[in-house]
């Protein structure tokens, strides 16, 4: 087993330096796991680390998923087959720029639950989840012949709360389920006091200022082993922002400092991958910052798994301290598949009965209240007044398209500086429709209770209007019937087909479209927002493709000036800001 004593890790009673890289199995298609892990091993690392997102494995309360992207045991076994050790971080909360930090949205249906605390109701949900999850790790523990050498308790808890009873509960859960393995907590240097347990190893998360960070750790727990559980070598991007990069030489220089100190290191990220579907999170500070679909992170491998200058710089440093393996020759490649015509289409409004789930209530209900996790919610009511009526936008989370009598009026967004708007109702009896997009729940900080849709009734023309219809559109079902494009209301689905000889990775360049979601063969690749950036193209992993007859579906929310897209062989992240 892995142990720690006198500032040193030991494995089988021999000094051991953890050299690890983060790969999130849920951000990379299973067919690519081996390729990414081979590249990790070829760098000279001995361990792979991954988070475990609760909302992926229990998407609805009591319904568990452990296949496909959620096949955590398959990922662990792939690492074991390559001779790698594994660190697992199965905290109920993971942050990771992932939707709601990995917490399932159904927790928000109970407005009294106190998340990330020793609240008995919250703990009962965690206990139920852990009863399904934790036993799966037991056969993969190192002492049972598997690769798992360590597991984390919660995640950066000191940056959120101070409930030691909660952390103790999680530790006892591991013990109750037979997870006799090395345990640790991780926090930024400024938060280790609140996020640690007395009898559990404390590790640090940082990207620079090595000496100051370890001095803080020594002052808190003298003789602690020096480990950076997250060595931040890049950063994530958000819509309407710029693409973040970190100089390869700068990241490698800090890594050399860590090697000089014989510190253990986990690169965050070694390979970032993709926020498929609706699983991007958001940071909410002064304003709301939804994370883009790509989780490239300017890491050691690109989103599609290509080796970077930063990878080579780190390998060069590592070669000064140990023998590094030969480079791994990947057989994967990307290819341009050319033009795809998307001339068939149907309005979302014309397919609601097929793809939406209807609920009626006296007032509008949030997504969580109607058991909807992600996607879009259409709210509909009757306004029996005419003229110009003002309304506040505080209830809208996050972005909404407003229609009166079927005619588009305006778009409102949570970040709009003006918190009131005016709508025109031309008739004595009018139909008001509000289509709300959940652009990703907050994954960090004080806004974790980030309910979506309309979070309360809207105050319209100095009064409330009652009796609402709601249609939950999660896009787990796509329309079956399309027709040649005609003028119809947006949002609209567009459909086309294409061939992909060789089934290589590719990228969708949807220039001419505005904002929406892309699907290939029914798989939700994620969001695009071409007028916002920085991401301009969406990654398509080759294993999702067929040699012939692939179906591309585009849900365009706003407007399109074209009826085709291009499949190209390179990504594009516009503009750059140095981290």
| Residues with catalytic function | 156, 230
Residue 523, H or E segment: strand 523-529
**Residues whose CB falls within 8 Å of the CB of residue 88, separated by 6 or more in sequence, listed in order:** 49, 50, 52, 76, 137, 148, 150, 151, 152
User: For tokens 């927002």, what's the residue?
Assistant: 529
CA distances from 223 to 87, 149, 220, 496, 524 (A): 22, 21, 10, 62, 48
Which tokens sit at 108? Answer: 């928000």
Residue 226: both structure tokens together: 């020096």
C-alpha distances out from residue 560 to 117, 169, 514, 549, 568, Å = 46, 52, 6, 24, 19
Q: How far is Cα of residue 54 from the mean position of the Cα atoms in its chain? A: 12
Alpha helices in 111-247 (DSSP H): 120-133, 164-176, 192-195, 210-220
**Distance between CA atoms of residues 246 and 573, nearest Å:** 14
Distance from C-alpha of 503 to C-alpha of 555, rounded to nearest angstrom: 24
SS (H, E, C) 473-513: ECCCCCCCCCEECCCCCCCEEEEEEECCCCCCEEEEECECE
Give the separation between CA 471 and CA 380, rounded to whole angstroms. Answer: 9
Q: Are 473 and 377 in contact (CB under 8 A)?
A: yes
**Angle (nearest 5°) at CA 352 between 349 and 356:** 140
| Omega of the bond leading into 269 within 30 degrees of 0 (cis) | yes
- Give the chain's largest Cα–Cα span: 82
Indicate the burial class of 56 (C-beta count within 10 angstroms; 0-12, 13-18, 19 or more).
Answer: buried
The number of residues in the chain equals 579
Structural tokens at position 56: 């992926």
271 and 42 in contact (C-beta within 8 Å)? no
Q: Which residues touch 146 (CB under 8 Å, ≥6 apart)?
A: 76, 80, 86, 139, 140
What token pair was written down for 302? 């690109």
SS3 content of the chain, % helix, strand, coil (to 5): 25, 35, 40
User: What are the C-alpha distances in Å from 393 to residues 384, 396, 421?
Assistant: 20, 6, 7
H-type alpha helices, 319-374? 352-355
Q: ω before 398 within 30° of 0 (cis)?
A: yes
DSSP H or E run through 283: strand 282-284
């Amino acid at each position: 087993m892995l142990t720690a004593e006198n500032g040193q890790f030991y494995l089988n009673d021999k000094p051991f330096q953890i050299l690890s890289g983060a790969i999130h199995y849920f951000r990379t298609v299973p067919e690519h796991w081996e390729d990414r892990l081979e590249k990790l091993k070829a760098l000279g690392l001995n361990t792979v680390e991954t988070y475990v997102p609760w909302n992926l494995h229990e998407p609805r309360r009591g319904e568990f998923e452990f296949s496909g992207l959620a096949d955590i045991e398959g990922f662990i076994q792939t690492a074991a087959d390559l001779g790698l050790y594994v660190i697992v971080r199965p905290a109920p909360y993971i942050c990771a720029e992932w939707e709601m930090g990995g917490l399932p949205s159904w927790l928000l249906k109970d407005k009294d639950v106190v998340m990330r605390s020793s609240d008995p109701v919250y703990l009962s949900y965690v206990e139920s989840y852990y009863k399904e999850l934790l036993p799966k790790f037991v056969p993969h523990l190192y002492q049972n012949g598997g690769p798992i050498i360590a597991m984390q308790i919660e995640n950066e808890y000191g940056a959120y709360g101070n409930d030691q009873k909660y952390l103790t509960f999680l530790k006892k859960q591991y013990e109750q389920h037979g997870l006799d393995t090395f345990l640790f907590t991780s926090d930024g240097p400024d938060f280790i006091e609140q996020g640690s347990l007395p009898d559990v190893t404390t590790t640090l998360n940082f990207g620079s200022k090595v000496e100051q960070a370890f001095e803080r750790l020594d002052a808190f727990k003298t003789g602690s082993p020096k480990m950076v559980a997250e060595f931040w070598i890049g950063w994530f991007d958000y819509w309407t922002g710029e693409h973040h990069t970190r100089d390869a030489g700068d990241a490698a220089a800090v890594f050399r400092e860590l090697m000089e100190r014989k510190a253990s290191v986990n690169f965050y990220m070694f390979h970032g991958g993709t926020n498929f579907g609706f699983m991007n999170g958001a940071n909410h500070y002064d304003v709301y910052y939804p994370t883009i679909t790509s989780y490239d992170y300017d890491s050691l491998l690109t989103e599609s798994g290509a080796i970077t200058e930063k990878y080579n710089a780190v390998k060069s440093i590592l070669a000064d301290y140990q023998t590094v393996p030969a480079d791994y020759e990947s057989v994967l490649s990307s290819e341009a598949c050319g033009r795809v015509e998307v001339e068939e289409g149907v309005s979302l409004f014309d397919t609601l009965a097929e793809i939406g789930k209807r609920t009626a209530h006296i007032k509008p209900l949030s997504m969580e209240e109607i058991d909807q996790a992600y996607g879009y919610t259409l709210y509909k009511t009757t306004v029996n007044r005419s003229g110009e009526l003002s309304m506040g936008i505080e209830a809208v989370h996050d972005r909404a398209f407003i229609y009166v009598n079927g005619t588009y009026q305006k778009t409102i967004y949570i970040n709009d500086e003006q918190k009131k708007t005016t709508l025109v109702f031309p008739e004595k009896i009018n139909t008001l429709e509000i289509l709300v997009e959940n652009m990703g729940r907050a994954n960090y900080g004080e806004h974790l209770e980030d309910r979506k849709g309309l979070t309360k009734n809207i105050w319209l023309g100095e009064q409330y209007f009652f009796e609402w219809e709601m249609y939950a559109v999660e896009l787990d079902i796509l329309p079956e019937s399309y027709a040649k494009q005609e003028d119809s209301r947006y949002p609209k689905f567009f459909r086309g087909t294409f061939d992909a000889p060789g089934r290589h990775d590719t990228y969708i360049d949807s220039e001419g479209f505005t904002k929406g979601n892309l699907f290939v063969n029914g798989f939700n690749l994620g969001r695009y927002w071409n007028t916002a950036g920085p991401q301009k193209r969406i990654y398509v992993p080759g294993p999702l493709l067929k040699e012939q007859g692939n179906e591309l579906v585009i849900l365009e929310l706003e407007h399109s000036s074209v009826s085709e897209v291009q499949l190209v062989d390179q990504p594009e992240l516009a503009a750059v800001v140095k981290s």
